[in-house]
């Protein structure tokens, strides 16, 4: 829009508000209601005949809860008459911005629970994201300020919890719901595991969801084995009602769907369950069927007198949007998008929201979104995957307003100033360095599918990660010997040093730029046979995707004697629209470029719901030693 026209329209809008009653919500949870008169030269709002409303203090709420014997209490706001006021933007509000996404890289479908403050610990937030075909499953993050998050473990870490053998890309562990029950001092995580997901042929086996629980969320090995539900579906949510009943909501296909329907007809169903056994107590009923054909990601919230159903609709791509319904609050916008970031915006695909109240009575939401790179005026497939975004929520007449009613941007208005560690990073910083001086693998490494046996060790060679190959290659539906880490920036470099121990022709080890088994790029050192009495030589092996799923171009470069004990230096440089894989070996340096669009192709089965990852691999039965593994911002 022309700037002069935009200014004229803004002034006309302000004139239209003169002498009308405005409700102004501040970041410290106060509300001012008064008659709008004007703005001053600094854009401060001038209100006349103004009343100020304040929420009760945390202490007052605690006293009321203790008196009533119930965690949920209803209290009136306090008010006073102020008359003529100037509502100025405070310095704190001006500085209370942060950068989204708050958890970068492949971290979709976030769900949050809140652990109240104690005498010795502040209010702590725990967040889980989907992991799909990767092991361990259901990442768990922790934060005390909502902006800085730290990976603390995973809920699904053993075979009895998450058995994934030859599942397709995009199958496995889907969206969860994470909840904390203060009276029990117990965490619950509801989840579902797709073992077969082939939407291109209409072949989906809806999983029987389950929940796991723990009394110590800081110990990822403390989570229980699954308690399975009866009702099939995906995106499981649990609601504990005030009367002690527990309800399961989940998404499955509508019964009686017409055979010629052009829609998926996935709807949200709810039923009462017996939590101890997972048994269904009441027939499930439909509570949301979307006109777009897909309603998913349900979270049911009880706030005050009302229940709210939050749901994601339109799929998780360009049409993704978040809606809400209430059983009693009637709105013209009910069932319509709470906001919609379109395909021409910097942030896209937003939705799959969970909402929660912080320790000060303020409301927030986390949800997935993408920030695709733009090249030649066109947005590319977002190779970082779906990331976790955070915005504040204000309740206006018992209706949630996300992000001040604005669409989602990277720079986001918060409530108080928080130093965001991610925003302090600068090019050249080492953002992660593998800890190789401990006996256990650190958090943040993932394997494709559930491995049959452990393929790595950190104790056999000092300051090295030793990776033993197995009988499966990188393009196998099974679990190869591969360790992966999520790419979190468009401009970063993953690097490692490799010491090659293989003794048989065809054995190989190196690093990989991973999308899924049907599309990846790898560069490594391979042992090849020569014509000289079964002698072997080491050569650089490069695989690159061609842009067609499952098709790779393979090439070999240079050669040194098999007995050479030389270390290879390998790296993947990430750029917004491309990658460069490099190797220094045998006295030579080589590099190979891969376009991001060539990497991010749709698999022939399953779906591409994850993001690009960096990793190390070993093919064959002999070990490969890796050292100096790190990621540097570029």
Give which of 247, 134, 140, 238 is closest to 193, Cα–Cα.
134
Query: What is the average pLDDT value for the chain, to the nearest integer?
Result: 90
Give residue 18's Cα distance to chain centre. 43
| Three-state SS letters, 533-562 | CCCEEEEEEEEEECCCCCCEEEEEEEEEEC
pTM score of the predicted model: 0.85
Are 81 and 198 members of one domain?
no
Are 216 and 175 members of one domain?
yes
In this predicted structure, the answer to whether residue 442 has a pLDDT above a threshold of 70 is yes
Identify the domain boundary among 48, 64, 89: 89
Q: How many domains does the chain have?
A: 3
Are 357 and 443 members of one domain?
no
Range with the poorest average pLDDT among 89-93, 168-172, 501-505? 89-93
Cα–Cα distances (Å) from 284 to 280, 351, 492, in that order, read 8, 25, 48
Give residue 194's Cα distance to chain centre. 18
Identify the domain boundary among 397, 424, 451: 424
Task: Give the tens place of pLDDT for each residue, 55-67.
Answer: 775 456 556 655 6
CATH of the domain at 11: 2.30.30.100
In this predicted structure, the answer to whether residue 17 has a pLDDT above a threshold of 60 is yes
Are 19 and 129 members of one domain?
no
Helices and strands, counts by H and E, the chain: 4, 49
Classify residue 24 as left (phi > 0), alpha (psi -120 to 50) or beta: beta
Are 65 and 109 members of one domain?
no
Identify the domain boundary among 400, 424, 448: 424
Are 293 and 442 members of one domain?
no
pLDDT band at residue 27, thresholds of 50, 70 and 90?
low
Are 239 and 311 members of one domain?
yes
- Which position has the higher pLDDT, 23 or 325? 23
Cα–Cα distances (Å) from 21 to 16, 36, 46, in that order, read 12, 6, 12
Are 480 and 417 members of one domain?
no
CATH of the domain at 187: 2.115.10.20
Are 41 and 101 members of one domain?
no
Proportion of the chain above pLDDT 90, given as a percent: 73
Are 82 and 128 members of one domain?
no
Are 23 and 114 members of one domain?
no
Are 279 and 417 members of one domain?
yes
pLDDT band at residue 330, thresholds of 50, 70 and 90?
very low
Task: Give the tens place of pLDDT for each residue, 564-623.
Answer: 657 999 999 999 999 999 999 988 899 999 999 999 999 999 999 999 999 999 999 999
Domain of residue 605, residue span: 430-633
């Amino acid at each position: 829009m022309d700037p002069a026209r935009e200014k004229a329209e803004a002034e006309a809008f302000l004139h239209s508000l003169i002498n009308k009653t405005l409700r102004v919500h501040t970041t410290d949870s106060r509300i001012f209601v008064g008659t709008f008169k004007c703005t001053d030269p600094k854009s401060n709002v001038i209100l006349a005949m103004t009343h100020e409303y304040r929420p009760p203090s945390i202490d007052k709420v605690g006293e009321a809860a203790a008196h009533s014997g119930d965690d949920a209490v209803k209290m009136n706001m306090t008010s006073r008459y102020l008359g003529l006021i100037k509502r100025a933007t405070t310095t704190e509000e001006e500085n209370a911005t942060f950068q989204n996404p708050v958890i970068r890289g492949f971290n979709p479908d976030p769900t949050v629970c809140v652990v109240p403050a104690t005498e010795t610990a502040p209010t702590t937030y725990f967040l889980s994201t989907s992991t799909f075909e990767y092991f361990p499953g259901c990442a768990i993050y922790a934060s005390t300020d909502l902006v800085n998050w730290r990976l603390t473990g995973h809920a699904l870490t053993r075979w009895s919890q998450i058995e994934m053998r030859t599942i397709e890309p995009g199958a496995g562990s889907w969206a969860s719901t994470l909840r904390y029950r203060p009276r029990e001092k117990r965490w619950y995580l509801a989840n579902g595991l797709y073992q077969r997901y082939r939407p291109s042929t209409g072949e989906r086996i809806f999983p029987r969801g389950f929940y796991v629980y723990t009394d110590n969320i800081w110990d990822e090995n403390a989570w229980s084995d699954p308690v399975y539900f009866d009702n099939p579906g995906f995106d499981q949510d649990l609601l504990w009602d005030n009367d002690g009943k527990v309800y399961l909501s989940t998404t499955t296909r509508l019964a009686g769907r017409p055979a010629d329907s052009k829609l998926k007809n996935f709807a949200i169903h709810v039923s009462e369950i017996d939590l101890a056994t997972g048994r269904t107590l009441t027939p499930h009923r439909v509570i949301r069927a979307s006109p777009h054909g897909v309603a998913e990601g349900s979270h049911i919230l009880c706030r005050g007198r009302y229940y709210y159903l939050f749901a994601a609709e339109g799929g998780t791509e360009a049409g993704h949007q978040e809606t809400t319904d209430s059983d009693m609050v009637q709105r013209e916008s009910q069932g319509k998008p709470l906001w919609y970031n379109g395909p021409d915006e910097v942030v896209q695909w937003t939705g799959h929201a969970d909402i929660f109240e912080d320790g000060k009575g303020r409301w927030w939401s986390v949800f997935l979104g993408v920030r695709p790179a733009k090249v030649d005026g066109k947005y590319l497939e977002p190779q970082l995957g779906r990331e976790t975004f955070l915005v504040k929520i204000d309740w206006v007449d018992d209706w949630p307003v996300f992000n001040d009613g604005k669409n989602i941007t990277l720079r986001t208005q918060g409530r108080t100033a928080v130093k965001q560690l991610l925003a302090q990073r600068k090019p050249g910083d080492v953002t992660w360095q593998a800890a190789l001086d401990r006996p256990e693998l650190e958090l943040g490494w993932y394997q494709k599918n559930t491995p049959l046996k452990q393929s790595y060790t950190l104790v056999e060679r000092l300051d090295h990660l030793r990776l033993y190959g197995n009988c499966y290659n990188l393009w196998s539906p099974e679990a190869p010997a591969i360790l992966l880490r999520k790419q979190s920036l468009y401009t970063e470099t993953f690097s490692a040093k490799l010491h090659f121990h293989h003794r048989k022709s065809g054995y190989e080890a190196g690093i990989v730029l991973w999308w899924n088994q049907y599309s990846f790029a790898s560069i490594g050192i391979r042992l090849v046979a020569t014509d000289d009495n079964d002698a072997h030589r080491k050569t650089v092996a490069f695989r690159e995707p061609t842009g067609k799923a499952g098709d790779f171009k393979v090439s070999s470069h240079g050669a040194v004697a098999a007995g050479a004990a030389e270390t290879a230096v390998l790296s993947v440089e990430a750029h917004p629209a491309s990658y460069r894989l490099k190797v220094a070996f045998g006295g030579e340096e080589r590099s190979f470029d891969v376009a991001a669009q060539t990497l991010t192709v749709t698999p022939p089965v399953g779906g591409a719901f994850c993001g690009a990852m960096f990793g190390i691999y070993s093919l064959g039965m002999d070990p490969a030693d890796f050292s100096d593994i790190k990621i540097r911002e570029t």
